[in-house]
Structure 1
Amino acid sequence: MSKVSNSNSTYLLSSSNQQLNSDWQSIQTIQHTIPLIYNKISIFQKDNSNMLKNTLINNCISNSPPKSKMAMPEKKVTISDYQVLDTLGKGSCGFVKLARRKSDGKNVIIKYVVKSLVLDGCWTREDNVKIPTEIHILKYITENFPHPYVLRLLNTWEDNYYYYLEFDSQNCIDLFECIDNRRFTTEAQVKKIFYRIVQGVQHLHHINIVHRDIKDENILIRDDDTVEIIDFGSSAYVKEGKKFDKFCGTGGYAAPEVLSGQKYDGPPQDIWSLGILLYTMIYGSNPFRTLDQIITSEVQFPVIVSSGSHDLMCRMLNRDFQKRPNIDEVINHSWFNDLTEEDKQIPKNTNIPIENSNEEIENNKENEIKKIEKIEIIKKEEMDKDNSISKVHSEEEEDITEMDNISVEILTPMENEKEIESIKLEEDDNELTSTTLNEELIKKLDLHSVVSEECDVRSDSTLVD
């Protein structure tokens, strides 16, 4: 554009000179106007020269590395940047897929969280930004207190239908499959794996986070027998003096006070779930067959494998949540005394700065607690009022550009609707989901009429036939 302008101005100057030469006689008759004409030509030529100079300078600057404040924003990530390879599973508010990054060919795990299915009480607001608590907590852990035994978030983005969470893809198997495949044949194997799970939960509790859905399906076992706690869809921040009033998680692992509709503290719920988990690892099945039994019955042991494991399970499965041990008392239980230092040592990971020691956590804890206190838990009704969810479907036709961000190789809008409906209708035959259980709790705080479905029970036991 600048070269064209310069050429045109030169042409104008040349044309003016030719006209002045051919009509010299005429110009002599208007000598009083000549100074004005030449002044205008001179000014125009000067302005044109400055424009050319500025253009050259700008071109030079544009070829130089941009300054940080002038840097262009990074390209917005969309699901079309990934090639979906397989569906790995479904949950109460989304599904998980294996995908390959098109940019570098790396395989990753992508969790799709359906916006309209995020549970009530699982939304967080900080600085007027509203996102699912799961995303806020995962970002908080990854950026401030990463741990080798806790899931690490790589990236997150959203479109009209979903929040997307990207994680590393590793060679691992979930604890559910390990138990079903009878991978643990000795108490020593169970002890080592369980101790590492407790180390991960201890890390969460020390930074004021409760998981609220600890179960075998949410524990991954790597090839080297290290663990990873996953699925933070029910997780929450613990605030002093505040109790929870919403059930989140899995019925078969929920504590009696939670299923009874009482307000509850988060950490004792995690301790109860750990007790159920240890029982399942040792005996191969859940100690309770129905939710009624969880509320009313004491845990029964087919045999006592060892006095240490029996004592620890009895303590964690105490029906009085005030008498359950805290996570530090669990990890210091005498049952773990014969573990080697190597088994207790948390491995170093090149991707995770392990310098976040307990000492550093304690030093930063006061500041972090202040940040957590500012975080608000908001209800789903408020999200609907802000039209962040309720207008998704009405905007499909109006905002085609946004909908184009959903890759057609993943799901079309119609397929999105079918996928969401299938998640709503799909109920596990062996357990009540947090969604259905919450609905019953809202109707009436009497679970005895709605807990006839059995909890997860396996016919095969792990250490005891």
Structure 2
Amino acid sequence: MGRLNNSVVNNNNGILQEKGYHIQAILGEGSYSKVKAAIWKKPGASNSVPVALKIINKTTAPQDFLQKFWPRERDIMGIMDHENVIKMYEVFSDEHKIFMSIERAAHGDLLEYIKLKGPLCEFDTHKLFTEMCAGVKYLHDMEVIHRDLKCENILLTADYHAKIADFGFARKLDAQDRSRTFCGSAAYAAPEILRGTPYQGPVADVWSLGVILFIMACSVMPFRDSSIRQLLRDQQTTPQFPKGKDLGPMYRKLIGKILCYDLSKRYTLTNILNDGWMVSSPKSLLKTSISATDSGIGSDRSSSSTITTT
């Protein structure tokens, strides 16, 4: 839960009040930005909306960020309109700060949820993963590559639907264009990215989806990530599932197809969407609703990393 901070709440009161924002708490902060929970009642509107307000300090933010990454994030979020992608409401600024008002997800991010509740049942894993894939397909159809998909950037709404967030590393990129930039977290990165090989943009997002899919059902990372060398070595083998974990053969097969070291044999997003596990919802495996899951984090695996924030 965010914490109240009166000194921060009082700053920029003028412009925030003028725009109809009432700050509630701080959700997170970095070296040059903060994210705050707020209630927004747009001037002239009858209803208020819960939002997350990202506030960037222009005096401390690096010029590279202000001139390159921030404009990309702003422009990309400005064109997003999909039920599984976080919506941006408006952007405004004053002399020292940039404010971005975005949709707030009531249940936080997927990583914190898994750390709190433990591995998800296969039915709920299927539901959330289907929604993530729908969001990523929308991005790719819009020629947008996220490049930082991870559990922390998948947010959960009040009714537990998945929404893709944080477009700080995203960029417009034709599917055939190649990128040379390493972005995001190494634990979620495809082998060719870790090796420094130029890669087609969608490749980065698809591999990351596979890592997230594994984590949801197993609550551990699929590969050890203590070093890039160790990570690359582990990626050359099929992920080892936790002992005693009841996972269906179709799910296991899909994981192997997505997290395949050989790019020529690896699933594309189209392959994923047409996979047997994806097109037939595993309702027979429904044990507990996602809002009632009560198991704890844990695994007897010695070969994979436990879930940590990156």
Category of TM-score, reference length = shorter chain: 0.7 to 0.9
Distance in 1 (CA, whole Å) between partners of 2:105 and 2:98 is 22
Q: SS at the partner of 1:330?
A: helix
Corresponding position of 1:189? 124
Task: Go from structure 1 to structure 2 and tell me whether the alpha carbon gap of 1:214 and 1:119 turns closer, same or farther (over 3 Å shift).
Answer: farther
Q: Which structure's CA Rg is the greater one?
A: 1
The 1-side partners of 2:192 and 2:31 are apart by: 22
Shift of 1:93: 5.8
Where do residues 291-330 of structure 1 align in structure 2 (5 Å cutoff)? 291-297=228-234, 298-302=237-241, 303=243, 305-330=247-272
- 1:98-143 per-position Cα deviation (integer Å, ceiling 9, x unaligned): 123375654321112345337569827xxxxxx62010101122xx
Which of 274, 278, 281 in structure 1 is aligned with 2:209?
Answer: 274
Closer/same/farther in 2, CA of residues 309 and 106 from structure 1, 3 Å limit: closer
- What TM-score does the superposition give when structure 1 sets the normalisation length? 0.51
**Are the aligned partners of 1:112 and 1:163 in contact in 2 as well (CA < 8 Å)?**
yes
Aligned: 1:109 with 2:52: yes
Q: Which position in structure 2 is the counterpart of 1:285?
A: 220
* Separation of aligned partners in 1, 2:15 and 2:233: 49
Question: Taking structure 2 as the reference length, what is the TM-score of the superposition?
Answer: 0.74
Q: Structure 2: give runs of 5+ residues left out of the alignment.
A: 1-13, 284-303
Letter in 1 for 2:90: N
Secondary structure of 1:113 counterpart: strand
Q: Offset at 1:285?
A: 1.1
> Which has the higher relative contact order, 1 or 2, with Cα contacts under 8 A spaced 6 or more apart?
1
Counterpart check, 1:78 vs 2:7 = no
- Which amino acid letter does the alignment assign opposite residue 159 of structure 1? D
Cα distance 1:186–1:340, how it changes in 2: closer, same or farther (>3 A)? closer
Query: In the alignment, is residue 252 of structure 1 matched against residue 252 of structure 2?
Result: no
Report how far residue 239 of structure 1 moved: 2.4
- 1:226 pairs with one of 161, 182, 185: 161
Give, in angstroms, the shift of residue 262 of structure 1: 2.1
Alignment of 1:104-253 (within 5 A): 106-115=49-58, 116-117=61-62, 123=68, 132-141=71-80, 146-182=81-117, 184-239=119-174, 241-253=176-188
Instruction: For 1:257 and 1:249, locate their aligned partners in 2 and report how far apart those are by CA, in whole Å.
Output: 14
Contact 2:207–2:258, Cα closer than 8 Å, also in 1:
yes
Helix, strand or coil: the match of 1:164? strand
1:273-422 equivalences in 2 (<5 Å): 273-290=208-225, 291-297=228-234, 298-302=237-241, 303=243, 305-339=247-281
1:99 matched to 2:38? The reply is: yes
Pairwise CA RMSD: 2.8
Give the distance between the partners of 1:263 and 1:159, measured in 2 at CA: 39
Question: Which stretch shows the higher mean deviation, 216-225 or 89-98?
Answer: 89-98
Given the superposition, is the C-alpha separation of residues 276 and 159 from structure 1 closer, same or farther in structure 2, using an over 3 Å criterion? Answer: same
1:183 to 1:264, Cα distance in 2 relative to 1, 3 A: same
| Aligned position for 1:88 | 27
> 1:376-417: CA deviations, max 9, x gaps?
xxxxxxxxxxxxxxxxxxxxxxxxxxxxxxxxxxxxxxxxxx
Q: 1:239 to 1:207 in 2, by over 3 A?
A: same
Residue segments in structure 1 that go unaligned for 5+ positions in a row = 1-76, 125-130, 342-454, 460-465
Give the match's secondary structure for 1:308.
helix
Structure 2 counterpart of 1:237, one-letter code? K
Shift of 1:306: 1.9
TM-superposed CA distance for 1:295, in Å, is 2.0
Tell me if structure 1 keeps the 8 A contact 2:122–2:282.
no
Q: Tell me how far 1:289 sits from its aligned partner.
A: 2.4
1:93–1:118: 8 Å Cα contact kept in structure 2?
A: no
Q: Output the amino acid matched with 1:457.
A: T
Distance in 1 separating the partners of 2:31 and 2:262: 29
Aligned residue for 1:292, secondary structure, equals: helix
Of Structure 1 and Structure 2, the greater helix share is in 1
How many residue pairs match? The answer is 260
Q: Deviations over 1:162-217 (max 9, x none)?
A: 43210133422321122112265421121111111111111111111111111111
Change (3 A) 1:232 1:92: farther
Distance 2:198 2:98 in 1: 29
